[in-house]
Every structure is written in structure tokens, then in C-alpha cells.
Amino acid sequence: MPDVELRELRVFLVLAEELHFGRTAGRLGLTTSRVSQTVRALERKLGGQELFRRTSRVVELTEAGSALQAELSPAVAGLERVLRTATFRGAGPGVVRVGLLNAASGVDVLSRAIEQFETLYVGATVQLSTTPFNDRLGPLRRREVDLVVTRLPLDQPDIVVGPVLSAADQRVVMLGRTHPLADRAELSVEDLADHDVRRPYGLTPEAAEATCPSRTPSGRQLRFVDAAVEDNAELLYLLARGRLVHPTVAPFADHFHHPDVLTIPLRDLPPSACALAALKNIHDPARDAFTAIVATLTTT
């Protein structure tokens, strides 16, 4: 059995992904010569087979390299999860703080993950807290929580998106029974252009646009109104009065009820997804161990 080191396998996998020695060196904090030396050492240990074709302009995987990448990627990922788990277990019980706006989406996955996490790591706990309507990522950036449940898309340079908790939440519109659109069986974004629409609050620009585009497919500008609210009860009250419409997702509408508020499908927007997100470049074994459990639950 060849005496292969984990660091050599990591270098191989990153180079197999980047196919560029400079970018590989940058990702791993190495020099390009160190990357090259490591790959040559791995090739010698594996019987002298060539894993990459190198020219002055191009780096390509050989057939042997492609086969090794396919077999090695899941094995190394599994090993790294085991090592993270062992590190966390050795450090003792920890606390993972998760922020979420409401209990409408992905909570069934979170509940199962919390149960598994607290069973596997005796003494460890997961604390759930509510993030504010108008500052949904603020608690994460201020390090008040370790993870947040967030709507996708999310493209922020300081945040990494983790496992998806729910991938196909239907888009809907919530509005009062007396609203002019209340008799419709379904709605389109075009239908909303003549009515006051609650501006999405606390979302990143990319998530806000996905929640409700600022323009209809024909190019009409939507009439957003500033109706900031402190909690869901206040939002339902405003909707019940028939003053505005609220584009959202079906799990939210199913979870929060008011006798004078209706939910109508929004047919021309794709389903919404929500996921866990964390700050980049933060070492937190407890958080990573919990995230790994969530990822296992969402991929099985």
C-alpha cells in the first residue's frame, strides 16, 4: 500500500478542479513549485502513472487522473468529515446558534438534525433565535449566531451557502379578502403592477429580486410600498385591511394564518429554496459538525 499523505490528496483534488497551478497554489496557500512537487511525488507513489498532462498553456487530467478524481473525491470528503467530528468531540460539548426568520421552511430538517447532533455529542446544544425582518443577515455578520436560515439566491462575498433545507417552496401572494385581486384562482407578476406591493425587507438585492421582481415581464414597474413591520402579527393585520399584497412562499402562508387573509399561487415565478449560511473563513468545529449532519439529511 503506497504511503500517501492526506495533504497530497488534497493538492491533487484542488488541481484536478482548477487545472491551473497558480490558482491551486493560491487556494492552498502554497507556491506553484510546491504544488508541482507534491503532484510528482503522488504520481511516483502511485506507480509512476501520469495524472496530469502539462504543457506551457494547458493542464489536463489524464484518463488515470480522471478515474482517481472520481473515486477519491467522496472518500476524502468523508474522511474530512470524520476528522472534523473527532476534533469537535475532543474539544468537548459546544453550542451552535442558528438564526431563522420564522418556522415556515426547512424546520423539519433542522429538528431532525438537532436531535441527531445532541444525541451524538452529549452535552452539545443547538439554540434557535429569531432574526429581525429588516436585518436578516445582521446577526450572522455580528457573530450573534453561527448559522442562519436564508432564502436563495445568496451571493455575498463574506458568506458561504451550506446545505439546502427546502428546494421547491411554491411562490404565492398573500392579500386581504377585500382586495381587488382576492377572487383570482392564481396570479402573475403582471397582475401585481396595478396594486401596492409590500417591498421585500431585510433581503439581499438578489434575494429581494427573486422574491418579487421590480418589473413585470412586459417591463412595467411594480409599485412597491414601504410597509416595514416588526413581526408577523403586524404583517397579517396590514394584509387583512386590504391595503397591500405580499409576495412570499407557501410554507410561510401555511404557517401564519388570519381569517381575513387569503393565499393565491403566483404562477410565473420559479419555486424558492432556503438554505443554511455561515460566515466564510471562520473555524468552528461545532458549527461544522452540525452542518455536516444537516447535509447528510438533505442528500439521503
pLDDT in tens, 203-240: 788 888 888 888 999 999 998 887 766 677 888 888 88
**pLDDT (mean) for 250-255:** 86
Query: Which CATH number fits the domain that encloses residue 239?
Result: 3.40.190.10
Is the predicted pLDDT of residue 265 greater than 60, yes or no? yes
Where among 68, 89, 110 does a domain terminate?
89
214 and 230 housed in the same domain:
yes
177 and 224 housed in the same domain:
yes
CB atoms within 10 A of CB 82: 11
Where among 51, 66, 89 does a domain terminate?
89
36 and 161 housed in the same domain:
no
Q: Is residue 226 part of a domain?
A: yes
Q: How do residues 129-165 score in pLDDT, each as one tens digit?
A: 988 877 888 999 999 999 999 988 999 999 999 999 9
How many domains does the chain fold into?
A: 3
**Range from 80-94, 151-165, 188-202 that averages highest in pLDDT:** 151-165
Q: CB under 8 Å to 211, separation ≥6 — which residues? A: 151, 200, 203, 247, 248, 272
157 and 288 housed in the same domain:
yes
Q: Do the beta carbons of residue 151 and residue 272 sit within 8 Å? A: yes
Q: Is residue 103 part of a domain?
A: yes
3-state percent breakdown (helix, strand, coil) of the chain, nearest 5:
40, 25, 35
Parent domain of 55:
6-89
Where among 67, 89, 111 does a domain terminate?
89
62 and 180 housed in the same domain:
no
**pLDDT (mean) for 243-269:** 89
**pLDDT (mean) for 118-132:** 87
Determine how β-strand 147-151 pairs with β-strand 159-169. Answer: unpaired
Query: Which residue reads 498553456 in cell numbers?
Result: 57
Is the predicted pLDDT of residue 89 greater than 70, yes or no? no
Q: Is residue 217 part of a domain?
A: yes
Average pLDDT, the chain: 87
**pLDDT (mean) for 251-274:** 89
**pLDDT of the residue at 190:** 93
Q: Is residue 1 part of a domain?
A: no
183 and 225 housed in the same domain:
yes
232 and 281 housed in the same domain:
no
At residue 257, what are phi and psi to the nearest 5 degrees?
A: -115, 150
35 and 47 housed in the same domain:
yes
Q: Is residue 51 part of a domain?
A: yes
Is the predicted pLDDT of residue 1 greater than 60, yes or no? no
Least confident of 39-48, 269-278, 283-292: 283-292
The model's pTM is 0.65
